[in-house]
Copies of this chain bind each other. A is one copy, B any other.
Amino acid sequence: MKALNETIIAIIGTGLMGSSLALALRGHVRAIHGVDNSPTHRLGAATYFDYIGDNLERAVAGADMVILAIPIQAILQVIEQIGSLLKPGALLLDLGSAKQMIVQAMDALPEHVQAVGGHPMCGKESSGPMAADAAMYRGAVFVLCETKRSTPQAINFVQCLIRVIGARPVAMSAERHDAAVAAISHLPYLLSVGLVNTVGQTAQDDPTPWTVASTGFRDTSRLASSNVTMMNDILMANREAILDALVLFDAQLHSLGEAIQSSDEGALRGILETARKTRDDWFKTWQTLRRDM
């Protein structure tokens, strides 16, 4: 691989993740090409890229590295068609939120291509290039999953790129990644959606819930504002792990409901204390790690 600052990078998808990545990479690479089917996205992201267009073939032809920053179904489609478009030794990385299906697809790429699965653990509920933020990746864990097309050099290059944008590379298998994000990301999204729709149902006859809702509701409902196409893809791609997480959550909520129903304050307090301590411990560690970046 060339040095990072000699590299031409093509980013497919100029939404929040792709545009933020382009901003974070400016000055660290030779050139950044952007590809997007949406004229609105191309317009919004125009100043972030050295070249922007809707022609995948043209944008990736000379690229040393191609980064897929699009929803999972689109990632899978592009992986199927991109093999022959890439020059020998070119490196493919994706930012998809569920990794097993993508790693499998990357395994089947032609041998002249290198490919690594990636997932940066950052984002916001707003989307599109106008929401882009060069600092978004800073301090975030960036998961890397090896594929059958990952040489040590390719992994090393991606790690270097991740450090340049201020993130923290963490290698793991696609299976472990998918189980973990089902619990800490996809389940919370479903809870947010279920919460908002429960409040919507409660408020049908009497809008009081909307009047009194405040910061607690704002935070627990935030993920429900996520991009629906992106989330729909993720839920389908990580179906099994998500269903497993739902079963565990259902049992937890059932225990809570039981303790409340039977006014068992001892049991209730035990559950609440466990959650408080667990969350406080994680939060302290997480904050420290972010600060140290």
Q: Which residues of A line the B interface, CB within 8 A? A: 121-124, 140-141, 143, 170, 172, 176-177, 179-181, 183-185, 187-203, 206, 208-226, 228, 231-232, 235-236, 239, 242-243, 245-246, 248-250, 252-253, 256-257, 260-261, 263, 265, 268-269, 271-276, 278-280, 282-283, 285-286
Contact = CB atoms under 8 A, between A and B. Distances in A.
A216 B223 contact: yes
A107 B206 CA distance: 25
Nearest to A244: B202
A271 B197 contact: yes
A143 B177 CA distance: 44
Contacts of A239: 260-261, 263
13 contacts: A122-B214, A183-B203, A192-B220, A193-B256, A194-B253, A196-B278, A197-B271, A197-B278, A224-B278, A228-B273, A231-B272, A246-B253, A250-B253
B181 A212 contact: yes
A279 B180 contact: no
B275 A212 contact: no
A209 B183 contact: yes
A180 B192 contact: no
A217 B185 contact: yes
Contacts of A191: 191, 194-195, 220, 253
7 residue pairs, one from A and one from B, having the closest CB atoms: A188-B220, A193-B275, A194-B252, A180-B208, A121-B214, A184-B213, A196-B275
A286 B196 CA distance: 15
B184 A216 contact: yes
Contacts of A249: 194-195, 198, 253
A263 B210 CA distance: 32
A245 B197 CA distance: 11
Contacts of A197: 252, 271, 274-275, 278
A141 B212 contact: yes
Contacts of A260: 235-236, 239, 242-243, 246
Given A180-B202, A184-B199, 4 more contacts: A184-B217, A194-B256, A216-B223, A219-B220
